[in-house]
Amino acid sequence: MAKASSKQITPKSEDFDRWYVDVIRRAELADYTPVAGCMVIRPYGFALWENTQRALDDMIKRTGHQNMQFPLFIPESLLVKEAEHVEGFAPEVAWVTQGGSEQLHERLAVRPTSETIICELYRKWIHSWRDLPVLINQWANVVRWEKRTRLFLRTTEFWWQEGHTFHETWEQARDEVDTMLGCYRELAEEWLAMPVIAGRKTASEKFAGAEYTLSIEAMMSDGWALQTGTSHHLGQNFTRAYDISYSGRDNTLLFPFQTSWGLSTRIIGGVIMAHGDDAGLILPPRVAPVQVIVVPIAQSGDAGGPVEEAAVRLEREAPSGVRLRVDRRDGIRPGEKYADWELRGVPLRVVVGARDLAEGRVTVVRRVDGEQQQLPLEGVAARLPGMLDEAQAAIRARAQRLLDERSVEVTDLDGLRQAFEVQPVFASGPFCDSPECELAVKQAVHALTVRVLRADRRPDGAPCLGCGRPADHVALFARAY
């Protein structure tokens, strides 16, 4: 690990966007590249993504799915078969028109998503009801030509998983959509310590080509929302367009029902913005690349003495699965090491100093709140898993308090305007889900959108805040990244 720059991070209260970029670059998560809009994910950032990816991949396999890999390039003739899908992605598609020195006879799209190529291939592979369900997933990079980019949150090239499934009935596809959104919720809340609100997107916000889209929305520490995972019921829109038919149980020719669902590296941006502070990252222990950093502070001329022996002992006694590292860098003062590891969000710091060690103790500092404990060296390694669990719970509780404190109820457009006068919030209110009322909401407050029609709430006969007619839903309104 390189020594961190001495330049301070921009305070969150001064410029949240600048703070966000400062943390990413100084913590060596990612950086810009010579290719406009594209980022490089550095080893520490990729380790964070790998831990997140591994947790989700286990859930994907636990629910019966298998991983596959599909081509990066999609012929234009395939992409245009599903009109709504093409219209939704057209402004963002990157095209390959030349291979080597030859002009291509047909343009190739650089994968913005894979429904079209997957449908074309499964048209050859699905013949009978016995071939269903199809439950597949791929981990891949995709390209969407973004006009405004931001590290992790929105880049021209990004990394994600995209699941694709085919089913006999609409109801089976519905259950699949619900199951995978549940996996995303489990990842967000139990692994990334981000409480989320789940629900259905409005027609204007759903995935192009879907019957409906479900998503989870998390509050960032500035009060803005981040969509952190989506799951789509595609009905038969793609299977009819691509002529994926099969012989049903009664020998009639049928079209399967399809779903797709995805979560990308933007979730890493969510972890940064949901938990970080002016000192840098605060990483949930379950995904942190380094969970425990041991900082030995030996007296002059004591190299290899009791302090180093204690550090080696902690390495040796740390339970399996605890990601522990000892910072043995020379020529760097202890305070600089503390700041480096705080910047990188390491959940626990164990300071092994000669004075404490003389009394058989070490000092353990928790990143999320700075809580310090002086504990006996004897047995402290065995306590690390429990302390990491406590740190995980503390980060989750901290995020939940913010969500609770900045959530408000509104009943009309005036109340909605007033709710956002002081600071961004999550506002919930009765909503009829008409395009006219959705437009009225957007016009009432700058940059406001209907994030989801909440799955956990019902309007109980309340009038829509836009038109006054009986509301069918309780909507979540917020500004969003």
Residue 158 has pLDDT above 80, yes or no: yes
Q: What is the pLDDT of residues 420-447, one digit of tens each?
A: 999 999 999 999 999 999 999 999 999 9
**Model confidence at 129: pLDDT above 70:** yes
Tens digits of per-residue pLDDT, 43-73?
999 999 999 999 999 999 999 999 999 999 9
Are the CB atoms for 19 and 238 separated by under 8 Å?
A: no
Structure tokens at 4: 């961190």
pLDDT band at 90; cut points 50, 70, 90 = confident
pLDDT number for residue 432: 98
Residue 301 predicted with pLDDT over 90: no
Q: Which residues, other chains included, contact 39 with Cβ-Cβ below 8 Å and sequence gap of 6+?
A: 30, 31, 32, 33, 151, 152, 155, 157
> Helices 380-405 & 306-317, crossing angle to 10 degrees?
70
Q: Which residues contact 6 (CB under 8 A, 6 or more apart)?
A: none
Whether the model pTM is above 0.75: yes
Largest CA distance in the chain: 85
Q: Residue 238 in contact with residue 209, Cβ under 8 Å?
A: yes
pLDDT tens-digit profile of 440-471?
A: 999 999 999 999 999 999 999 999 999 999 99
pLDDT digits (tens, 9 = 90+) for 265-298: 999 999 999 999 999 999 999 999 999 999 999 8
Three-class SS of residue 303? coil
How far apart, in Å, are the Cα atoms of 169 and each of 45, 147, 173?
41, 39, 7
> Token pair of 22, please?
């400062």
**Which class for 139: exposed (0-12), middle (13-18), buried (19 or more C-beta within 10 A)?**
middle
| 53 close to 139: Cβ distance less than 8 angstroms | yes
Chain CA centroid to CA 373, Å: 32
Mean pLDDT of 86-115: 93
460 SS3 class = coil
Q: Does the pLDDT at position 480 exceed 70?
A: yes
Per-residue pLDDT at 300: 67
Q: Given this model, what pLDDT does residue 5 score?
A: 46
User: Which tokens hold the place of 95?
Assistant: 């095209």
Cis peptide before 133 (omega within 30 of 0): yes
> Which position has the higher pLDDT, 364 or 89?
364
Percent of the chain predicted with pLDDT > 90: 93
Q: How far apart are CA 228 and CA 84, in angstroms?
A: 24
Which residue, 174, 177, 189, 166, is CA-closest to 215? 177
Calpha distance 113→100 (Å, rounded): 25
How far apart are alpha carbons 201 and 203 in whole angstroms?
A: 6
> Residue 321: helix, strand or coil by DSSP?
coil
- Under the banding of pLDDT at 50, 70 and 90, the label for residue 8 is confident
How much is the average pLDDT of 118-144?
A: 97
User: Which domains are assigned to the chain?
Assistant: 16-275 (3.30.930.10), 292-387 (3.40.50.800), 407-479 (3.30.110.30)
Residue-wise pLDDT tens digits, 309-351? 999 999 999 999 999 999 999 999 999 999 999 999 999 999 9
Rounded to a whole number of angstroms, the distance between the first and last alpha carbons of the chain is 31
Instruction: Answer for the pair 290, 350: CB distance below 8 angstroms, yes or no.
Output: no
Q: pLDDT for 203-237, tens place per residue?
A: 999 998 999 999 999 999 999 999 999 999 999 99
pLDDT of 299 > 90? The answer is no
196 touches 185 (CB < 8 A): yes
Going by pLDDT thresholds of 50, 70 and 90, the confidence category of residue 4 is very low
Kindly calculate the radius of gyration of the chain based on its CA atoms and give it in whole angstroms: 25
Question: Nearest-CA neighbor of 79 among 28, 37, 116?
Answer: 116
Per residue in 357-388, pLDDT (tens digit) is 999 999 999 999 999 999 999 999 999 999 99
> Do residues 249 and 237 make contact, with C-beta atoms less than 8 angstroms apart?
no
Q: How far is CA 363 from CA 53, 283, 333, 445, in A?
A: 33, 20, 17, 49
* Mean pLDDT to the nearest integer, 197-208: 96
Locate 395 and state its tokens.
Answer: 């980060």
Q: Residue 295: which residues within 8 A CB-CB, separation 6 or more?
A: 327, 334, 337, 338, 341, 349, 350, 351, 352
With tokens 């009060």, the residue in question is 223
Residue 118: per-residue pLDDT: 97
What's the confidence (pLDDT) of residue 89? 79
